[in-house]
Chains A and B, each alone.
Chain A
Amino acid sequence: MAEETAKKTNRALEQLKQLRSERAEENKKKAERQKEQNRLQKAVLDALGDGERTVPEIAEAAGIDTQTALWWVTALRKYNKVETAGKRGDYPTYRRK
């Protein structure tokens, strides 16, 4: 069973090798997008720091627009990196998990 598993993993990795060479150009663009996503994600998490912030506060600290900030807070909340903390004025606040 372990042998079979190792063989199959190799198959997936072989497939990746082939696809990466076939799609090199297209993949470069996609990798750029991933880098940009990493940057935005880090900016949002850094903006939260150790505190509790609203979406407009996160957006200002991260230098991004509020819609993008909300989308990232939503994404990071879903994947357990951020949680809702409380409320300030008309806005919920968020903190890192």
Chain B
Amino acid sequence: MIANHPVERADALVVGAGIAGLQAALDLADQGFQVVIVERQPSIGGHMINLSKVFPTLDCASCITTPRMASTAHHPNIQVFTYSEVDSIRPVGDRFQATITRKPRYIDEDKCIGCKRCEEACTLYLPDEYDHSLGAKKAVSIPFTNAIPQYPVLDMDECFLCGGCARACPTDAIDYMQKPETFQLEVGAVILATGYDMTPMDAKSQYGGGKLPNVISPWQAERLLAPHGPYGGVLRPSDGKIPDSIAFVQCAGSRDASLGVPYCSRVCCMYAIKQAMLLSGSLPIADITIYYMDIRAFGKGYEQFYQSAKAMGIEFVKAKVGRIREDEEHNPILRIERQEGDSAPEEVRHDLVILSLGMVPAWIPDRDGIVPLQTGSDRFLLSPKPRISPTLTTLPGVFACGAATGPKDIVDTIVEAGAAAMQAAAHLQRTLAGAAK
């Protein structure tokens, strides 16, 4: 259920409602445990709901994620707090005391019926985070069509107080003075499913430092490819041209100690291949090139996926990309050094370039002592027994899963979420049995 009012006690707290958090919560709730989910975004779904299709099956991401989001939101044993932050989690005996803050949407959730009239009435356009700023939203808006819950968020930092939304709202749900609400929750176990973020686009000045309009992030590429993407098709951001030559730059944020990301982000080869295949489907005559160091196609069916991409005519060039600049028409120009043969560095022009950025943890709970546990040198959550119990953390009773423990694909995320739910269930049974003695 979508929760609009504080809850005092539950069996388990799941932090993060990406595919990992949804799966872990459902697995616990189906066993009869009472679960509270805290998600900091206005909607559940995490990054997966933002993707176009998923490798290696090319199933529609939203078609897989939306039913799970709906099952979670309607489960009688789950209470979902969105647009909420965990301020701290403290062990108290066998249990945990969590402090949670609900951020103000400036909407009375009890009254809002999700009719969107406020959004229609609003006149102020802002960059839309959901479309990674390629598209626009209104200053009061529901985050995206299949968002759960269907509550708008009013951006009071940007709003210029015209009052249009309040006048349009048929249920008087606009509350310009809503305040954050903090409450305490006591639980027996915690699952951290806080996922990943990406290295910023401006991290590498040699790749344009985020200033070249036609050098985009892989998340932006996902949105361009999505059926309801911002442009209604694949266009380049500088001028709306249909690109004829598109390149991917692999390891543009991973395996790079200078960025603090010496590790491989594991999924970039596969999502670049997926995006290249989808691009080639929407733009059949476009040239698509992937510049790579080596291709890591580790999962079931992944090697075949890679081979299919090659057979489709996607060009794989083993080369290091040293620099990216643009010409006067904003065409990105890549300075590449091929790793096969002994040719000299060369410059290649493309219409659109996608940087395969590195994956980093979205949340570092030991920073500022929010949760007293340890993270690894890569800052992902650390298991004391990574080989045999990857979902443990250094704090007994707190478990972790999905991209919060390290870069991983959806399949591995779901498997790990199930494992974390089992560990949490066993912990709850043990502590309940202990308390009964």
Interface set of A (CB-CB < 8 Å, partner B): 5, 8-9, 11-13, 15-16, 18-20, 23, 27, 30-31, 33-34, 37-38, 41, 54-56, 59, 66-67, 69-71, 73-75, 77-79, 84, 87, 90-92
The answer to whether the Cβ of B240 comes within 8 Å of any Cβ in the partner chain is yes
Known: A8-B172, A16-B161, A67-B213. A75 touches B242 (CB 8 A): no
Q: How far is the CA of A67 from the CA of B134 in the complex (A)?
A: 10
Collect the chain B residues with CB atoms within 8 Å of residue A59's CB. Answer: 239
Distance (whole angstroms) from the CB of B142 to the closest CB of chain A: 12
Q: Is there contact, CB below 8 Å, between B166 and A74?
A: no
Known: A9-B172, A90-B242, A91-B242. A74 touches B158 (CB 8 A): no
Q: Is there contact, CB below 8 Å, between B235 and A70?
A: yes
Can you list 25 A-B contacts with CB-CB less than 8 angstroms, sorted by A residue number?
A: A5-B172, A8-B172, A12-B172, A16-B163, A16-B166, A19-B177, A30-B160, A31-B160, A33-B124, A34-B160, A55-B239, A55-B241, A66-B240, A67-B237, A67-B238, A70-B231, A70-B238, A70-B239, A73-B240, A74-B230, A75-B135, A75-B136, A77-B232, A84-B233, A92-B240
Distance (whole angstroms) from the CB of A85 to the closest CB of chain B: 11
Q: How many A-B residue pairs have CB under 8 A?
A: 98
Q: Is there contact, CB below 8 Å, between B160 and A13?
A: no
Q: What is the chain A residue whose CB lies nearest that of B108? A: A8
Q: What is the chain A residue whose CB lies nearest that of B178? A: A15
- Max count, chain B CB within 10 A of own CB: residue among A11, A69, A71: A71
Q: How far is the CA of A38 from the CA of B160 in the complex (A)?
A: 14
Q: What is the chain B residue whose CB lies nearest that of A31? A: B160
Distance (whole angstroms) from the CB of A59 to the closest CB of chain B: 8
Chain B 260-300 against A: per-residue CB contact (8 Å), 1 yes, 0 no? 00000000000000000000000000000000000000000
Distance (whole angstroms) from the CB of A5 to the closest CB of chain B: 6
Q: How far is the CA of A53 from the CA of B248 in the complex (A)?
A: 30
The answer to whether the Cβ of B175 comes within 8 Å of any Cβ in the partner chain is yes
Q: How far is the CA of A91 from the CA of B134 in the complex (A)?
A: 17
Q: How far is the CA of A5 from the CA of B231 in the complex (A)?
A: 40
Chain B 145-178 against A: per-residue CB contact (8 Å), 1 yes, 0 no? 0000000000000111111001100011011110
Given contacts A16-B163, A23-B161, A75-B136, 8 further A-B contacts (CB under 8 A): A12-B174, A34-B123, A34-B124, A38-B123, A71-B136, A91-B239, A91-B241, A92-B242
Q: What is the chain A residue whose CB lies nearest that of B229? A: A74
Q: What is the chain B residue whose CB lies nearest that of A23? A: B161
- Max count, chain B CB within 10 A of own CB: residue among A9, A31, A33, A70: A70
Q: What is the chain A residue whose CB lies nearest that of B159? A: A30
Distance (whole angstroms) from the CB of B104 to the closest CB of chain A: 13
Q: How far is the CA of A18 from the CA of B161 in the complex (A)?
A: 10
Q: Is there contact, CB below 8 Å, between A54 and B240?
A: yes
Q: Is there contact, CB below 8 Å, between A27 and B161?
A: yes
Q: Is there contact, CB below 8 Å, between B124 and A91?
A: no
Q: Is there contact, CB below 8 Å, between A56 and B135?
A: no
Known: A67-B238, A70-B240, A74-B230. A19 touches B161 (CB 8 A): yes
B residues 84-136 with Cβ under 8 Å of A? 120, 123-125, 134-136
Collect the chain B residues with CB atoms within 8 Å of residue A71's CB. Answer: 136
Q: Is there contact, CB below 8 Å, between B175 and A12?
A: yes
Collect the chain A residues with CB atoms within 8 Å of residue B213's CB. Answer: 67
Collect the chain A residues with CB atoms within 8 Å of residue B163's CB. Answer: 12-13, 16
Q: What is the chain B residue whose CB lies nearest that of A5? A: B172
Q: How far is the CA of A27 from the CA of B124 in the complex (A)?
A: 13
Question: Residue A70 contacts which of B158, B171, B237 (CB distance < 8 angstroms)?
Answer: B237
Q: Is there contact, CB below 8 Å, between B125 and A37?
A: yes
Known: A12-B172, A12-B175, A16-B176. A92 touches B235 (CB 8 A): yes
Known: A19-B176, A74-B136. A27 touches B240 (CB 8 A): no
The answer to whether the Cβ of B244 comes within 8 Å of any Cβ in the partner chain is yes
Distance (whole angstroms) from the CB of A9 to the closest CB of chain B: 6
- Max count, chain B CB within 10 A of own CB: residue among A34, A38, A59: A34
Q: Is there contact, CB below 8 Å, between A15 and B240?
A: no
Q: Is there contact, CB below 8 Å, between A92 and B233?
A: yes
Q: What is the chain B residue whose CB lies nearest that of A30? A: B160
Distance (whole angstroms) from the CB of A67 to the closest CB of chain B: 5
Q: Is there contact, CB below 8 Å, between A90 and B241?
A: yes
Q: How far is the CA of A33 from the CA of B135 in the complex (A)?
A: 18
Q: Is there contact, CB below 8 Å, between A75 and B125?
A: yes
Q: How far is the CA of A38 from the CA of B174 in the complex (A)?
A: 24
Q: Is there contact, CB below 8 Å, between A56 and B233?
A: no
Q: What is the chain A residue whose CB lies nearest that of B156? A: A19
Chain B 239-252 against A: per-residue CB contact (8 Å), 1 yes, 0 no? 11110100000000
